[in-house]
Chains A and B, each alone.
Chain A
Amino acid sequence: MQKTRLESLPVSRVRDTSEVIAGRPGAPSGLVVALGLVLAVFLVWELLTRLLAVPVYILPAPSRILQTLAQNGQVYLEASLLTLGEAALGLVLGATAGTGIALLLGLWPRLEQGVMTLAILIKSTPLVAVAPLLTIWLGFGVLPKIIITGLLTFFPVLVNMLSGLNTADPARLDTLRSWHASRWELLRFVRLPESLPYFFAALKVSGPLALIGAVVAEWTGASGGLGRLMWLAYTNLNLPYLFSAVFILSTAGILIYSGIQWVERKLVFWEG
């Protein structure tokens, strides 16, 4: 459970880095710094591949990757929408399941040990081994991808939500108890809202994880999506296509993280 604490604690630390990215008024904008860094990395990468004449099947130059991306916009757009859709639905599934189980355990703490053992069991199963089985059971459609993504994303949500529900301020709980509030009312009016920052800390872990889940699932058999595209590109050793997908995934990962952060600031306005 040591790791649990680590995952749930950085609520405040994460906020610090977000301020760096978003920038404080007066300070140089974090976005500019980030873009500058990315640009610098690209530049060095481009120069090295050119100077050392690295073959394209070993490592393509970023210009070549961006060119591939531009020339196949439609293909990548369709694949991205499918993969992002699977990731989003899987994340919704995982977050809902994680929150739901955490709420059940919050209401009936006696279940905790048994349910958590099961959850850790699921969490410890290598998804690479399970993914092909799900494909065999559920076919090549989007369903197994969504389920795999859900399996991958539910655990951080469960663990964080459980910490959040269990760390509710005792003084607030006492106040509500003095009004003869029920267990459900304690949950609804104190424990649940108090765990909201924990929920967002979990989403920041699970959001980017959802992309990985969807891609891994597609890699093991799919009729579309970025994972399939990457697999096909890999089996053809067509690295510009492979890296194009990687670029999209990294960008999507950053956008998802920032999006979650934005929503968090709106909803958890009282922290900070």
Chain B
Amino acid sequence: MNIQLHQVSYSYPGRGQKSFQALRPIQLSIRAGEFVALIGPSGCGKSTLLRLVAGLLQVREGKLLLDGAAPLHALARKKIGWMAQSPALMPWRTVIDNIILAQKINPQPDGQRLSAEELLEMVGLEKFRLAYPHTLSGGMQHRVALARTLALGAPLWLMDEPFASLDELTRENLSAEVLQLWARFTPTVLWITHSIYEAVQLADRVLVMSPSPGEIVADVRLELPRPRLENTRGYLAQVTRLRRYLRSNPGERGIQ
């Protein structure tokens, strides 16, 4: 699924007359199947951008198109897989019931779907089929959330710092699994992170955002072979380059 943004900006309505501008006009084009990381300081509007793409926020300024249609259209056709920082599982449902909840709410498949068993197997939780989330470790809970994100077979994955709350080792393992799944299903991925290393590890392309109100200050294409090894020269060069963009970004007053 490709994504087109034409001068999309966003302001949160404030109390009284004052509103808060979260995003400056953004011009962006993402090809189908691209793995795009979105990086920037806290509060810069990354999540706002992701929510606009997801249709969780309504686009009021500019034009946002998913495969040429409005996000709500994609939402209605179950073409979006959403994953937030918290696994946000339903603690009163078993692992399997959590995973198939999306399918339960949207019983009519629109495209190919994996069965509950396949989803479980994909994240290696076959043995925990009937366990309740509170009995699982943090990493396992995120695996459940990941399987659930894939349950509708959506061609677009929107992931808002999905593993930020996990320890480093677990985060790396899970990220590697996401990469494998991406290679298998070839969805478009928009992945928010505040870790430069994570961005370089995963993405084809990194978008760097300025502090609030956010805009895209750098669009970096990573021409690195996979699997990417951390201590290679090319890898480190990209890290250094991104760090420079982040440090020297013009900020609020720089570009008007």
B75 surroundings in chain A (CB, below 8 A): 178, 180
| Residues of A146-191 contacting chain B, CB below 8 A | 169, 171-172, 174-181, 185, 189-190
Q: What CA separation (Å) do A171 and B160 show in the bound complex?
A: 11
| Residues of B170-216 contacting chain A, CB below 8 A | none
Whether B92 contacts A193 by the Cβ 8 Å rule is: yes
Whether B90 contacts A189 by the Cβ 8 Å rule is: yes
Q: What CA separation (Å) do A271 and B81 show in the bound complex?
A: 28
Q: What CA separation (Å) do A118 and B198 show in the bound complex?
A: 55
| Residues of A80-100 contacting chain B, CB below 8 A | none
Interface segment, B15-23, B28-36, B98-106? B98-106
Whether B105 contacts A189 by the Cβ 8 Å rule is: yes
Q: What CA separation (Å) do A271 and B133 show in the bound complex?
A: 11
Whether B134 contacts A179 by the Cβ 8 Å rule is: no
Write the B85-129 contact mask toward A (1 if CB under 8 angstroms, else 0).
Answer: 110101110000000011001100000000000000000000000
In the complex, what's the smallest C-beta–C-beta distance from B145 to chain A, in angstroms? Answer: 8
Whether B84 contacts A171 by the Cβ 8 Å rule is: yes
Q: What CA separation (Å) do A181 and B75 show in the bound complex?
A: 10
B51 surroundings in chain A (CB, below 8 A): 174
A179 surroundings in chain B (CB, below 8 A): 78, 82, 102, 105-106, 152
Whether B84 contacts A174 by the Cβ 8 Å rule is: yes
In the complex, what's the smallest C-beta–C-beta distance from A188 to chain B, in angstroms? Answer: 10
Selected contact of B80 from candidates A172, A176, A178, CB within 8 Å: A178
Q: What CA separation (Å) do A175 and B93 show in the bound complex?
A: 15
B90 surroundings in chain A (CB, below 8 A): 172, 189-190, 193
Q: What CA separation (Å) do A269 and B133 show in the bound complex?
A: 11
Write the B139-154 contact mask toward A (1 if CB under 8 angstroms, else 0).
Answer: 0000000001000100
Selected contact of B86 from candidates A171, A181, A190, CB within 8 Å: A171
B56 within 8 Å of A (CB atoms):
yes
| Residues of A219-272 contacting chain B, CB below 8 A | 269-271
Whether A178 contacts B101 by the Cβ 8 Å rule is: no
B246 surroundings in chain A (CB, below 8 A): none
Number of A-B contacts (CB under 8 A): 54
Selected contact of B56 from candidates A177, A189, A270, A271, CB within 8 Å: A177
Given contacts A179-B152, A180-B75, A270-B133, is CB(A172)–CB(B88) below 8 Å?
A: yes
The interface size bin for chain B is 20 to 34
Q: What CA separation (Å) do A185 and B54 show in the bound complex?
A: 19
Q: Which residue of A has the minimal Cβ distance to B76?
A: A180
B102 surroundings in chain A (CB, below 8 A): 179
In the complex, what's the smallest C-beta–C-beta distance from B41 to chain A, in angstroms? Answer: 22
Whether A181 contacts B84 by the Cβ 8 Å rule is: no
B55 surroundings in chain A (CB, below 8 A): 178
Selected contact of B92 from candidates A171, A176, A181, A270, CB within 8 Å: A270
Q: Which residue of A has the minimal Cβ distance to B89?
A: A172
Whether A180 contacts B86 by the Cβ 8 Å rule is: no
In the complex, what's the smallest C-beta–C-beta distance from B38 to chain A, in angstroms? Answer: 17
B134 surroundings in chain A (CB, below 8 A): 270
Whether A180 contacts B106 by the Cβ 8 Å rule is: yes
Whether A171 contacts B56 by the Cβ 8 Å rule is: no
Q: What CA separation (Å) do A172 and B133 show in the bound complex?
A: 14
Q: Which residue of B has the minimal Cβ distance to A173?
A: B88
A193 surroundings in chain B (CB, below 8 A): 90, 92
Whether A174 contacts B56 by the Cβ 8 Å rule is: yes
Given contacts A185-B105, A270-B132, A270-B133, is CB(A178)–CB(B88) below 8 Å?
A: no
| Residues of A180-223 contacting chain B, CB below 8 A | 180-181, 185, 189-190, 193, 196
A176 surroundings in chain B (CB, below 8 A): 105
Q: What CA separation (Å) do A158 and B29 show in the bound complex?
A: 49
Whether B101 contacts A189 by the Cβ 8 Å rule is: yes
| Residues of B48-93 contacting chain A, CB below 8 A | 51, 54-56, 75-76, 78, 80-82, 84-86, 88, 90-92
Whether B54 contacts A178 by the Cβ 8 Å rule is: yes
The 9 closest A-B pairs by CB, nearest first: A178-B82, A270-B91, A171-B88, A171-B86, A172-B88, A179-B102, A193-B92, A270-B134, A171-B84
A-B contact pairs, 12 of them (CB 8 A): A169-B88, A171-B88, A172-B90, A174-B56, A174-B82, A178-B54, A178-B56, A178-B81, A179-B82, A179-B102, A270-B134, A271-B91
Binding site for B on A (CB under 8 A): 169, 171-172, 174-181, 185, 189-190, 193, 196, 269-271
Binding site for A on B (CB under 8 A): 51, 54-56, 75-76, 78, 80-82, 84-86, 88, 90-92, 101-102, 105-106, 132-134, 148, 152, 158
Inter-chain pairs besides A171-B85, A178-B81, 14 sampled, C-beta below 8 Å: A169-B86, A172-B88, A174-B51, A175-B84, A175-B148, A178-B75, A179-B78, A179-B105, A179-B106, A180-B75, A193-B92, A270-B132, A270-B134, A271-B91
